[in-house]
Chain A
């Protein structure tokens, strides 16, 4: 028998909608440029920066800064622990769907104001 859904089954860091969208996009692609990710999610520079920083601090996202033809290029990718956290979050969602309802997760970190 499957165990009931507990509040800590939902990772508070990726429960926030923009952060969940960032993790989902990076789960589908090995790496995405900052501009490309911003366009795919329809968020502002500041919003994406702040949430990406929260994910980076949690160790879920790796950010690399390089230069392409003298232009700065920021790329984001999911770390191993980020991918595992995303899998756990999906499993928790699946259990809520199967069991009908689950507890609300604890509030996660808010992005720092810019």
Chain B
């Protein structure tokens, strides 16, 4: 055996080992439906607030504020349930255990940043008199921290989730620095449109036979 063949075999072994450890259960349908739910939530928020600024929720009645928080909580819970159900279905289709490695990877990678985002949201909203400028931080903070979580998932996966995570971080930074009072639009463009585009990309990838 020549040195070049040995090097080629080592490179092939590395490629196979990398491919075997990729997280490939990316449910494109979840991203699309989740994105559409967020777009509906944004439209409803705009209607409830009469503004594109999330801080306008402070002008709502107590019941209105509770309803507004409940709306976004429900969208978050629906997204998690949808992801769990469709990922389990994809795992069954691929012949994998539904509580297996892919699910654990997604949970371990995403949960720290989501927990931090929840904690920050709590500190922005809970004071007796929440300050509008702090409420305006909520959407950019969620965009950036969600982006960090998706980037983490992407380290074990194909390139697309890493790009999605980077796009969320970049969009969150722009929203934080320049468009804090456009929270509804920022949420629609990121959690809505970016998810729909990502979902379409994953579905197209699957149709082309990319594992």
Check if A and B associate. yes
* Chain A residues at the B interface, C-beta cutoff of 8 Å: 5, 10, 17, 20-21, 24-29, 32-37, 39-42, 68-69, 71, 73-74, 90, 93-94, 96-97, 100-105
**B6: chain A residues within 8 A (beta carbon):** 93-94, 96-97, 102
Q: Which of B9, B17, B97, B98 touches A25 (beta carbons < 8 Å)?
A: B17
**A29: chain B residues within 8 A (beta carbon):** 20-21, 101
Q: 3 tightest A-B contacts by CB?
A: A25-B20, A96-B6, A35-B95
| A39 to B6 CA separation, bound complex (whole angstroms) | 25
Contact B1 A103 (CB under 8 A): yes
Residue of B nearest to A73 (CB): B95
* Chain B residues at the A interface, C-beta cutoff of 8 Å: 1-3, 6-7, 9-10, 12-13, 16-22, 24, 92, 94-98, 101, 211
Contact B96 A40 (CB under 8 A): no
Q: Which of A10, A36, A93 touches B10 (beta carbons < 8 Å)?
A: A93
**B10: chain A residues within 8 A (beta carbon):** 90, 93-94, 97
| A90 to B6 CA separation, bound complex (whole angstroms) | 9
Contact B16 A25 (CB under 8 A): yes
Contact B21 A28 (CB under 8 A): yes
Main secondary structure of the interface of B (DSSP, over half): helix
Measured CB to CB, the closest approach of chain B to A8, in angstroms, equals: 13
Measured CB to CB, the closest approach of chain A to B162, in angstroms, equals: 19
**A37: chain B residues within 8 A (beta carbon):** 20
| A24 to B67 CA separation, bound complex (whole angstroms) | 54
12 contacts between A and B (CB under 8 A): A25-B19, A28-B16, A29-B20, A36-B96, A40-B19, A74-B95, A96-B2, A96-B6, A97-B6, A101-B2, A102-B1, A105-B1
Measured CB to CB, the closest approach of chain B to A49, in angstroms, equals: 14
Contact A32 B211 (CB under 8 A): no
**B21: chain A residues within 8 A (beta carbon):** 28-29
**A5: chain B residues within 8 A (beta carbon):** 1
Contact B96 A33 (CB under 8 A): yes
Say whether, besides A20-B9, A28-B21, A29-B21, A96 and B3 are in contact (CB < 8 Å): yes
Measured CB to CB, the closest approach of chain A to B142, in angstroms, equals: 33
Measured CB to CB, the closest approach of chain B to A12, in angstroms, equals: 13
Measured CB to CB, the closest approach of chain A to B207, in angstroms, equals: 14
**B211: chain A residues within 8 A (beta carbon):** 39-40, 42
Residue of B nearest to A10 (CB): B1
| A25 to B18 CA separation, bound complex (whole angstroms) | 8
**B94: chain A residues within 8 A (beta carbon):** 33, 35-36, 39
Q: Which of B9, B22, B24 touches A93 (beta carbons < 8 Å)?
A: B9
Contact A104 B1 (CB under 8 A): yes
Measured CB to CB, the closest approach of chain A to B91, in angstroms, equals: 9
**B24: chain A residues within 8 A (beta carbon):** 39
| A97 to B21 CA separation, bound complex (whole angstroms) | 26
Measured CB to CB, the closest approach of chain A to B34, in angstroms, equals: 25
Contact B16 A24 (CB under 8 A): yes
Contact B1 A68 (CB under 8 A): no
Residue of B nearest to A33 (CB): B95
